[in-house]
Amino acid sequence: MTNKKPEPLLVKNTELSSQTWPAARRWSLWKQRATQFVPYNCDIIAANDYAATPCDFDANIRYYQDRKHGILLSASQFQPNIVQRSHRHLADNYQHLVLICLSGSRAIVEHNFQRRQLRPGDLLLLDMQQEFAFALMNQGKAINCHIPRSKLAPALRNRKDLHLQIINGHHSVGAALRCYLQLLPLTITNIPEAEREHYLLSVAELLNACLTKQPIESRPLAGKRWQIYLECIDENFTDPDFSVDKMAKALQVSSSYVHRLFRQHQTTVRREIKRRRIDYAKRCLQQRHRLQTRELASLTDIALACGFRGLSQFSRAFREQVGMSPRDYSKLGPDFDPRSPNTLGT
pLDDT in tens, 26-76: 878 887 877 777 788 888 887 665 555 555 677 878 877 777 767 787 877
Whether 94 maps to a domain, the answer reads: yes
Cα(296)–Cα(189) distance, integer angstroms: 9
* 191 plus 228 within the same structural domain: no
Q: How far is CA 186 from CA 103, 179, 208, 245, 297, in A?
A: 16, 12, 23, 31, 7
pLDDT in tens, 289-334: 555 444 456 888 888 889 999 999 999 999 998 888 888 888 775 4
Cα(171)–Cα(220) distance, integer angstroms: 10
* 179 plus 275 within the same structural domain: no
Mean pLDDT of the chain: 77
Whether 343 maps to a domain, the answer reads: no
Answer with the one of 179, 213, 247 that is the final residue of a domain: 213
Q: Alpha helix (H) ranges present in 252-335?
A: 255-264, 269-290, 299-305, 311-322, 326-330
* 228 plus 131 within the same structural domain: no
C-alpha 300 chain-centroid distance: 19
Q: Give me the number of domains the chain comprises.
A: 2
- In which element (H, E) is residue 175 found? helix 172-187
* 242 plus 146 within the same structural domain: no
Averaged pLDDT, 334-346: 43
Order of all β-strands in the sheet with 132-136: 43-46, 81-85, 132-136, 107-111, 114-118
* 102 plus 24 within the same structural domain: yes
What CATH number does the domain containing 145 carry?
2.60.120.10
What DSSP string runs through 10-61? SEEEEEEEGGGS-GGGHHHHHHHHHGGG-SS--EEEESS-TTT-GGG--EEE
* 245 plus 285 within the same structural domain: yes
- Determine contact, residues 168/176, Cβ cutoff 8 Å: no
Give the domain range for residue 253: 224-330
